[in-house]
Structure 1
Amino acid sequence: MLYRVIDAQDLPGLVAAFMERHEVVAPVRRGSKHVFDVISSPDEIDLDYTTTVASPKKYLLPPRETLMAYNAETNRIREYEAEITPRVIFGAHPCDINAINRLDQVFLESPYADPYYAARRKATLVVGLSCMPDDTCFCHLWDSDEARFGYDLFLQSLGDRYLVSISSVEAANILEASCDVREATDADRIDFRHATRRRQDAFNQDIPDIQEVAMLMDAFHSDPYWAELGGRCLSCTACSAVCPTCYCFDIEDVLAPDGKTGVRDRIWDSCTAPQFAEVAGGHNFRPDGRNRVRHRMYHKLNGFLAAHDRMLCVGCGRCVTACKANINPIEVLNFFKAKGSDDALDAEGDPAGTQAKEA
């Protein structure tokens, strides 16, 4: 990894250089909140934010995208070729970069890579930015408070300057051409360590650090707690809408008014929606909030880990804010704390014997 230092005053020039050949998406203020949006000037960017309302996921996996067009009369299909825009996601925090890495595992590293996601990902540069957590952040518990890969540049703020981690040639060339770049000194590295320590000390200590969460999800799979938690669920799907790693989708055929032609779209879906697990004939494999909420948490904290060696949740805390019924991973951690994580495994027995799960 290559490290360089630039002055904070050079940042607008870096953004402007990216804008010459790319669409730049960055955090901007909307009222009292921040969102990722396309900018037309570096002056629109507001990097002084903790968490945006939603992640930049939609620029890689749109809420709705057309996969193909078809003609019902001739029974012919035509693959839909979307125009892929060269893009820079600027100012993404480590949790969002780690979320993109999770999406890469699903859509790029599976046996059948998704060509639509792959085309957008290939055309996208990611510029990361260091951050300070607020009370709802728990990314440090899932090892998502640092971005070790998945970015082209990463900017660590050192006050009047940035320590820049460089991991792609294209981004390095733009950095060199637009900024006064210099090598990091011992003083820069010392300030970096201090900044890292301040971030680590700033996390909410009231959020319990529970070990072996995946095993506990197995051990307490049948606990009455899930009925209580699921009973609160409003099925609004806000949690999935703001989550940077939710990737479930539905396929919808949209017929034109003439009844002859149409398109097939992929649209975001949510496992907390009542109809998500409903199949032909009307049977619903997860008919109530208990089963739906438990399934969502189990996938985030156990199932994805078993398949990909990391939690699907990155601890960004967006669902903590979005859910009006107070259903989120922090609540699950508090439940495990109340049970006593060490004693719980002894009381419940070996979780390896609880692998048979309800659908």
Structure 2
Amino acid sequence: MLYRVIDAVELPALVSAFMESYEVVAPVKRGGSHVFEVIQSPDDMDLSYATTIASPKKYFLPPVETLMTFDAQDNGVTDYAAEITPRVVFGAHACDINALNRLDLVFRDGRYPDPYYVARRAATLVVGVSCMPADTCFCHLWDGDEARFGYDLFLHAIGDKYLVSIASVEAANILEAACNPRVATDADRIEFRHATRRRQAAFNPDIPDIQDVAMLMDAFHSDPFWEELGGRCLACTACSAVCPTCFCFDIQDALDPDGSTGRRERVWDACTSPQFAEVAGGHNFRADGRGRVRHRMYHKLNGFLANHDRMLCVGCGRCVKACKADINPIRVLEFFEGKGADDAQ
């Protein structure tokens, strides 16, 4: 990895340089929250955010996406060629970059790569930025607080400067042209270490650090806890809407008004939806909230780990804020902590 240092005052110039050739998506303040949006000026961007409402996932896996068009009269099918926009996602936190790396495992690096996702991923540069955790963040528990790959540049704030991790030639050339990058000094490296320690110390100590979560999910698979947790679920699917790693989708055919032509669409879906596990004939494999909530948590904390050697949850804490019924991985960790206390007694 190549490291350079730039002054914080050079940041607008870097963003402007990207905007010459790319559509730039960055965190923008909206009311009391932040969202990722296309910006028209570096002044639109606000990097002083804890967590955005939703992740930049939608720029790689859109909520609704046309896969093909069809004509029912002549039984013709035409592959849909979406226009891929060269884009920069600027200001992503480490948790969102790690979430994108997990989506890569499913849609890019698997046995059957998804051409729509792969095209958007290849056309997008990712510029990460360091952050300080909110009370609901627990990315440090599951190795999501540090992005080791999956980005082109990563900006580590060190006072009035940034220590820049450079991971691609394309981004390095733009950085070189827009800024005055220089080799890090010993003082820069010391300040980076101090900043890292401050971030580590800022995580909420009340969130339990539980080991062997995947094994505990198996051990307490039938515990009444899931009945209580699932019974609170409103099936609103807000958790999956804001989650940076949820990737379930439905395939729907949408007819045009003439009734003879239409398009096949991929639409975001959620395993907490009551109809998600319903099959032909009306049988529902997860008809109650207990089964749906347990399944979602199991996939996040056990199932994905078994297949890909990492949790599907990156600890961003968005679902903690989004769920009005207080259902989230932190409650699962607290349950496991309580079970340990019970055993100790």
TM-score range, shorter chain: over 0.9
Q: Is the 8 A contact 1:211 1:341 kept in 2?
A: no
- How far the C-alpha of 1:343 sits from its partner, in A, is 4.2
Segments ≥4 residues shifted beyond 4 Å: 341-344
SS at match of 2:6: strand
Following the alignment from structure 1 to structure 2, what is the Cα–Cα distance between the partners of residues 134 and 99?
18
Counterparts of 1:170 and 1:109, CA distance in 2: 22
Find the aligned partners of 1:72 and 1:142 in 2 and give their Cα distance: 49
Aligned to 1:354: none
Aligned residue for 2:152? 152
The question of whether the paired residues in 2 share the 8 Å contact of 1:14 and 1:179 is answered with yes
- May I ask how many residue pairs the two structures share in their alignment? 345
Identity rate, percent:
77
1:292 match? 292
Q: Secondary structure at the match of 1:182?
A: coil
Counterpart of 1:332, as a letter, is: V
Name the counterpart of 2:127.
127
Contact 1:3 1:183 in 2 (8 A): yes
> Corresponding residue for 2:260?
260
One-letter amino acid of the structure 1 residue matched with residue 194 of structure 2 = H
Structure 2, unaligned stretches of length 5 or more?
none
SS in 1 for 2:175: helix
Other-structure match for 1:351: none
Equivalent in the alignment of 1:102: 102
Cα contact 1:210–1:341 (8 A) shared by 2: no
CA distance in 2, matches of 1:342, 1:13: 57
- Partner amino acid, structure 1, of 2:154: F
Q: Which residue of 2 aligns with 1:10?
A: 10
- d(CA) in 1 for partners of 2:341, 2:173: 50
CA RMSD between the two structures: 1.1
SS of equivalent residue, structure 1 residue 325: coil
Q: How far apart in 2 are the matches of 1:304 and 1:37?
A: 30
Secondary structure of the corresponding residue to residue 282 of structure 1 = coil
1:271–1:288 CA distance, 2 compared to 1 (3 A): same
SS state of the match for residue 193, structure 2? helix
1:1-359 to 2 correspondences below 5 Å:
1-340=1-340, 343=343
Write the distance in 2 (CA, Å) between the matches of 1:247 and 1:337.
29
For 1:281 and 1:78, the matched residues in 2 are separated by: 31
Q: What are the Cα deviations for residues 108-160 of structure 1, in whole angstroms up to 9, with x where unaligned?
A: 11100000000000000000000000100000000000000000000000110
| In structure 2, distance between residues paired with 1:247 and 1:172 | 31
Which blocks of at least 5 consecutive residues in structure 1 are unaligned? 348-359
Cα deviation for residue 257 of structure 1 reads 1.2
CA distance in 1 between partners of 2:342 and 2:136 (Å): 25
Q: CA separation in 2, counterparts of 1:339 and 1:91?
A: 39
TM-fit CA distance, 1:33: 0.2
1:342 CA displacement: 9.9
Counterpart residue identity of residue 202, structure 1: A
Contact 1:92/1:129, CA 8 A, preserved across alignment: yes
Normalising by structure 2, we get a TM-score of 0.99
Partner of 1:353: none
Distance in 2, matches of 1:259 and 1:92, equals 43
